[in-house]
Structure 1
Amino acid sequence: MHHDAARPDPDDGLTVGRAAELVGVSVRTLHHWDQIGLVRPSDRTRAGYRVYSGEDVSRIHRVLVYRELGFPLAQIGRILDDPDADANVHLRRQRSELLDRIERLQRMVGAVDQMLDASRRGMRLTPEQQVAIFGADWRPEWVEGAEQRWGDSDQWGQYEQRAAALSTDDWEKVAAETESFEAALAHARRSSVAPGSAEANGLAERHRDLMRTYFDCTHSMQVCMGRMFVQDPGFAAHYDGLAPGLAQWWQDVLFANAAANGVDPQTAEWE
């Protein structure tokens, strides 16, 4: 079989297992990306096995960077398939956004470093320490307001127990995860993702996973939180500051996902 000299021998490509091992993701993840058309192995060996070429692996790395920056997979696919943007355009864009994120994370690390000698842990931090870790948008009264609303609930007991077990390193990770998640929310809102869509429901479930850091969050509880995000001026200002109209859109997303899981948003209670 003759091979074009300018094209690598497909037998030099990577099987899905080898590609997953080298880039640090699971085989299941690569299979999923293949199924949704995000990254597909473009070559075959002489024996007929599908393999990832060098260009495919480069695309995997671009996906990983955009995912780390909080972009939903559907949006990553649209960005990478933009006919007006080549690989260098993506690299320059990613470099700029990564530098912005690095700067934010460095500020967070500096705040955490100042607290390493503190004896108190978790959310039982002073308001000043909370702001230092989570940034200027953090409002210490959110914790106080939550305690007033739900201090007698089983979930608040879970919250106090789990929060007290977190180290400052853990809180740094939680802050980074929260920042990444809110970036994904803002991108989805700006991209006019429809409440009730698979992408929107995925964000709602990602929010439930994030809440499990503190307590076991049901869909009914998410509905109650969605109401608060719109009705509470502090929360509404926070979300709308991320993207115009985000607070109401986020409530609509949580309501739609709850309804899809058998919960009536009109009658849902904190349970």
Structure 2
Amino acid sequence: MSGPVTGLVHTGPVTHAEANGPGAAEDGLTVGRAAALVGVSVKALHHWDAVGLVRPGGHTPAGYRVYSADDIARIHRVLIYRELGFPLAEIARILDDPSADARDHLRRQRAELERRAGRLREMARAVDRMLEALDAGLRLTPEEQAEIFGADWRPEWVGEARDRWGGTAQWTQYAERAAAMTPQDWKDAVARTEALHADLAAARRAGVAAGSAEAGALAERHRALLSAYFDCTHAMHACLGRMFAEDPGFAAHYDGIEPGLAGWLRDAIFANAERHGVDPATAGWE
């Protein structure tokens, strides 16, 4: 055990050396010496004294209260029960009530600890699954990636994205969902993306106004496409729209689909965000 229970290493009576060390009194230990011995704070001992949990029973010739060997033993018992999660009031009742069944209390507490341990094991397994997802990420071979995403696809893009967003909750969502996707799932996702890109390019070529309802519907389709990988809010979408137009790599990607598409898509996303109560100028990643 650690923390306050480090004092459990001392389970015997107060020794002559301790009784004559710094802070010792003729018939026991001062509060400071007792606190240092059992590994709790002086404040805690004062509180336990005030609530009647552990009251120093000895006195020096000068009238100062000191902790006897029995008092120290009681403190050790308090520490054991406290480590097991018992509230102070129940500890006092167990220690002071001769009819209290300490074994029954400990059996019930052990059952509760088993329940907590099971819950912690479940949490640990969930963390393991998340780590597996984060490590796996895009579970496609380089050959499958080239087949599904096209000949110009570069596998290192996944690593670059991880370096850029790997510390975010959205990347965790993406990694978990991507790890569960089959090659067919990716083919379907690529088909939806290509269809959207074709519609975006057509709207741009046709001169559809970025603030129109038609452009807003396309912006919503774009946000829904991203939301398949992580929960993309309108504020996040606005941040991404800005990046699509300002980041050279993203701008080249969208402008390669249709000249001027990067800026048009940004404006359409901004207008759609405003319709949903988000100011693109102040939107944050939330």
TM normalised by structure 1 equals: 0.52
The structural deviation recorded for 1:153 is 1.3
Aligned to 1:148: 163
Q: For 1:199, which of 199, 205, 214 is the aligned residue?
A: 214
SS of structure 1 residue aligned to 2:219: helix
**Greater length-normalized contact order (CA 8 Å, ≥ 6 residues apart):** 1
1:268 is aligned to 2:283: yes
Aligned to 1:157: 172
Root mean square deviation, CA, Å? 2.0
Q: Which amino acid aligns with 2:222?
A: H
The structural deviation recorded for 1:136 is 3.1
Q: For 1:244, which of 234, 259, 283 is the aligned residue?
A: 259
Q: For 1:229, which of 244, 247, 255 is the aligned residue?
A: 244
Matches within 5 A, 1:103-114: none
Question: What are the Cα deviations for residues 2-28 of structure 1, in whole angstroms up to 9, with x where unaligned?
Answer: xxxxxxxxxxxxxxxxxxxxxxxxxxx
**Separation of aligned partners in 1, 2:247 and 2:200:** 19
Q: Which amino acid aligns with 1:214?
A: Y
Aligned to 1:112: none
Q: How high is the sequence identity, in percent, across the aligned residues?
A: 62
1:171 is aligned to 2:179: no
The structural deviation recorded for 1:190 is 0.3
> Is there any run of 5+ residues in structure 1 with no aligned partner, and where?
1-119
- Answer whether contact 2:140 2:183 (CA < 8 A) is retained: no
Q: Which amino acid aligns with 1:208?
A: R
The structural deviation recorded for 1:244 is 0.9
Aligned to 1:106: none
**Separation of aligned partners in 2, 1:153 and 1:122:** 14
Q: Which amino acid aligns with 1:158?
A: Q
Q: How many residues matched?
A: 152
The structural deviation recorded for 1:126 is 4.8
The structural deviation recorded for 1:214 is 0.5
Q: For 2:153, which of 138, 142, 160 is the aligned residue?
A: 138
Compared CA separation, residues 227 and 238, structure 1 to 2 (3 A): same
Compared CA separation, residues 138 and 255, structure 1 to 2 (3 A): farther
Question: What are the Cα deviations for residues 192-237 of structure 1, in whole angstroms up to 9, with x where unaligned?
Answer: 1111211011011111211122011101111111122122222111
**Separation of aligned partners in 1, 2:242 and 2:142:** 25
> Is there any run of 5+ residues in structure 2 with no aligned partner, and where?
1-134
Q: Which amino acid aligns with 1:207?
A: H
TM normalised by structure 2 equals: 0.50
**Separation of aligned partners in 1, 2:230 and 2:149:** 20
SS of structure 1 residue aligned to 2:189: helix
- Answer whether contact 2:136 2:175 (CA < 8 A) is retained: no
Compared CA separation, residues 226 and 188, structure 1 to 2 (3 A): same
**Separation of aligned partners in 2, 1:217 and 1:178:** 16
**Separation of aligned partners in 2, 1:210 and 1:195:** 19
Compared CA separation, residues 224 and 128, structure 1 to 2 (3 A): farther
**Separation of aligned partners in 2, 1:263 and 1:149:** 24
1:218 is aligned to 2:233: yes
SS of structure 1 residue aligned to 2:162: helix
Compared CA separation, residues 126 and 266, structure 1 to 2 (3 A): farther
